[in-house]
Structure 1
Amino acid sequence: MDRRLPGPRPPARGLRRRRDRLRARAARLRLRQARLRRRLSGRRAAHHPEGARLPLYHRERHGHLRGRGLHGGAAGKAPAERRVIPLGERPRDWLFVIAFSFFAFSSAFSDAVVARGVPLAPDSPSFWARANWWYASGTDPVLLQAPIGLKVQVAISAFVFGPFYLLLVYAFVAGRDWIRMPAIVYVSAMTYGMVLLFGAEFLGDLPPTNVPKFLAFNLPYLVVPLLLGYRMRSPRPFS
């Protein structure tokens, strides 16, 4: 007795017809795709006869699209240079020019006296030592004692921030965008230093005796840097 399994039966007529229709449809789709490819290649050759079969980046590099747009049109104009907005058209920037000019003046004279260790006294031969004593005698007793931490902060204000204030004034007047990153670094350092100063003053053993006067002299050194940080929010603040 033959126990071999029977072979696959031939497909029914309906299945054969469906298979033939699918094959014919696939052949028509392939033919249509070939026609579309030929049509597109012909259009590309009409626009760029020298580099029709080259990749786009290759044609751009070797000049096949030079003087034309992406689709063979007129060449686009080169991007115009940014116009620096003059200070006369930036009236709010006068606040920074005036503030940083005053800060530079204060750093060069008032802060430098404390940083050099000149005694603050009403009969001092130094005018700026007497001026600092007038401010500190009824307002800021910590400044009269001038601990080492305060001297370091004042020295940074006098010999680091002082010259930088002049650079800020120049950048605002001339409209120099490169000042943005140095200004952001200054804002971070100044904000950190002023927070430390206010904490040491108000939470220390010798708090200010005249708070309004103390804030009038010191709060601008926190407010103006914060305003500067907001002013530098744009990548090109002056153009």
Structure 2
Amino acid sequence: MRANIGLDWFFIGYCLMSLTIALICDAEAVLHDPATYGKVEPLVNWPPQAVVLALHEWCRRFDPLLGARPLWFLVCFYMEMTLQVPYYIAATYAFLHGCEWIRVPTLVYASMSLTTMAIVLVEQFFGEFATPAPLVILGSYLPFAIAPVFFLYRARGTSMFAAKTKQA
């Protein structure tokens, strides 16, 4: 681990939080169909039943989009599991150790996340599956729309970890 890690702890923490959420909540969206849950045996018993039931209650009360899981939204979850989960793991390592190779993947990740979140938030507020609780949804989704802006800012320029020097 490098000595001058500073604000990179934000990126490390965000990646670890997002990884945890992806492996629990997003995995549930990929592995379970809310319409058949409890009626057929799931292929995989992950996440634990209490988490699945809590997520289904969340969908019922606040997030009809997550409950409906239209095809385009499922594609977002598959992209999360296949592209973003590996990024979170690699980025955690890279931010800890100051690895410059993470710059381009960070630009791709942040751009992809911003695009996806713009579409999801418009659907959440104005679409077919609009939420009955906009402030709850805003509070829960907004961090995933704002953090990628910080990732883009961090990855600007030619180096993410080299010491920045002021020019006279």
Equivalent in 155, 158, 161 of residue 232 of structure 1 = 155
Hey, what's the Cα distance between the residues in 2 that align with 1:151 and 1:117?
A: 11
Shift of 1:89: 2.2
Residue by residue, what CA displacement relative to the aligned partner does 1:178-218 show, whole Å, maximum 9, x if unpaired? 11011101111111111111122212123112222212221
Q: What does residue 127 of structure 2 align with? A: 204
- Whole-angstrom distance in 1 between the partners of 2:92 and 2:7: 13
> Take 1:193 and 1:182, find their aligned partners in 2: how far apart are those partners?
16
RMSD: 2.2
2:5 aligned residue (90, 94, 105) = 90
- Alignment length, in residue pairs? 154
Q: Give the equivalent residue in structure 1 for 2:42.
A: none
Normalising by structure 1, what TM-score? 0.59
How far residue 122 of structure 1 moved from its aligned partner, in angstroms, is 9.4
1:136, 1:225 → 2: CA distance?
Answer: 25
Structure 1 match to 2:55: 132
Q: State yes or no: 1:157 paired with 2:80.
A: yes
Any idea what SS the aligned residue of 1:219 has? helix
What are the ranges of 5 or more consecutive residues in structure 1 without an aligned counterpart? 1-84
- Pairing 1:216–2:158 present: no
Greater shift in the superposed pair: 117-126 or 177-186 = 117-126
Question: What's the CA shift for 1:231?
Answer: 0.7
Code of the residue aligned with 1:133 in structure 2: it is H
Instruction: Choose from 49, 66, 70 the match for 1:147.
Output: 70
User: % of aligned pairs identical?
Assistant: 24
Normalising by structure 2, report the TM-score: 0.82
**Deviations 1:150-178, CA, capped at 9 Å, x for gaps:** 11111211232112111111110011011
After TM superposition, where is structure 1 displaced by more than 4 Å over at least 4 residues in a row?
A: 120-125
1:165-180 equivalent positions in 2, closer than 5 A: 165-180=88-103
Post-superposition CA distance 1:33-92 (Å, at most 9, x none): xxxxxxxxxxxxxxxxxxxxxxxxxxxxxxxxxxxxxxxxxxxxxxxxxxxx92x52321
- What is the match of residue 34 of structure 2? 119
Check whether the contact 2:15–2:92 (CA below 8 A) recurs between aligned residues. yes
Greater C-alpha radius of gyration: 1
Gaps of 5+ in 2: 40-47, 163-168
Which aligned pairs between 1:173-188 and structure 2 lie closer than 5 A? 173-188=96-111
What SS class does the counterpart of residue 132 from structure 2 fall into?
A: coil
1:120 is displaced (CA, Å) by: 7.1
Does the C-alpha gap of structure 1 residues 121 and 173 become closer, same or farther in structure 2, counting only changes over 3 Å?
farther
**Aligned to 2:55, what secondary structure does the other structure show?**
helix
Q: Structure 1's 112 and 155: CA in aligned 2 closer, same or farther, altered over 3 A?
A: same
Give 1:103's aligned residue. 18
Structure 1 Cα separation of the partners of residues 136 and 12 of structure 2 = 24
